[in-house]
Structure 1
Amino acid sequence: MSDYEVTPPPDRIAEKVQIRTAFTTEQGEVVRFMVQLEYWHRGDWKPVVRYDHDRGAKGGHDIAEKGLHMDIYRDGEKVDVKDVSGPIPPAKGLDYAEDDLRENVQRYIKRFEQWHDIKNESNL
């Protein structure tokens, strides 16, 4: 993540849950971003769900052309991709991603805990 222009500290939602955000702007416009919900499990922060936009990266996603989607993780691996919208400006995608993770954190974490046989350790 060190190649993003802005990487604020993760926003801790609960003891074992946080949202990590990073983005880059050019002339005031968002050109790349990553917003990820994470869970502390087995000694490390594991991705739960991720939104991202990076039209220049190999395998990157250009949400302005192809639409916004959410990557869903299990056991540290991407297991599914959920289409969220049609084409959307990157700044709106960044806002949407942050809002969605905050509004649906309990649902995403509950699924993660079920998949990993965790007994409600998140304290949400």
Structure 2
Amino acid sequence: MGQYDHVDKIPLTAKAQLRRGIATERGRVPRFFVQLEYLLGDEWAEIVRFDHDEDAEGGHDVTEEGVHMDVYRDGEKIDTVQVAGPMPASEALDLAEDHLAEELQRLIRRFEQWHNLSPNRDSDR
């Protein structure tokens, strides 16, 4: 996986954050990831992940393959959900962030149920 120009961690609730990495080259986006994470103990666990890397062998190129979301449970990827067809990477990045914003509460609740966790008390923020 290539390097990213920017990696941000955006707190969403007391136990959930959005981690995002973006690489740009001359105004275009050759690589990105957008990942929803949950604090388990003292480590962040993946809930879901969107990614794009046009140069990686075996990487996901949203301009050819479309936009998908990897779903994680117990630290393992258990499913891949197709979200949209092929599109420019900058649009796919926006779509990934919008999709997570719309589905945030449902994704967090499902993760908490799967892992027998108490509901995130401030997840309604």
TM-score clears 0.5? yes
> What is the Cα deviation at residue 2 of structure 1?
8.2
* 8 Å CA contact 1:17, 1:122 repeated in 2: no
Per-residue CA deviation, residues 56-85 of structure 1 (Å, 9 max, x unaligned), is 113210110110000000011100000111
Query: Percent of pairs identical after alignment?
Result: 48
- Aligned partners of 1:58 and 1:70: how far apart in 2? 19
> What is the Cα deviation at residue 122 of structure 1?
5.1
> What is the Cα deviation at residue 47 of structure 1?
0.3
State the one-letter code of the partner of 1:7.
Answer: V
Q: Which residue number in structure 2 is paired with residue 15 of structure 1? A: 14
Q: Which residue number in structure 2 is paired with residue 43 of structure 1? A: 42
Per-residue CA deviation, residues 26-67 of structure 1 (Å, 9 max, x unaligned), is 110111100000000132000000000002113210110110
> What is the Cα deviation at residue 86 of structure 1?
1.0
Q: How many residues are matched?
A: 123
- Aligned partners of 1:74 and 1:123: how far apart in 2? 22
With normalisation by structure 1, the TM-score equals 0.94
> What is the Cα deviation at residue 110 of structure 1?
0.5
- Aligned partners of 2:55 and 2:112: how far apart in 1? 34
With normalisation by structure 2, the TM-score equals 0.93
- Determine if the alignment matches structure 1 residue 71 to structure 2 residue 70: yes
- Aligned partners of 2:57 and 2:121: how far apart in 1? 34
Per-residue CA deviation, residues 100-123 of structure 1 (Å, 9 max, x unaligned), is 111211000000001000010352
* 8 Å CA contact 2:30, 2:55 repeated in 1: no
State the one-letter code of the partner of 2:10.
Answer: D
Cα RMSD, aligned residues only? 1.4
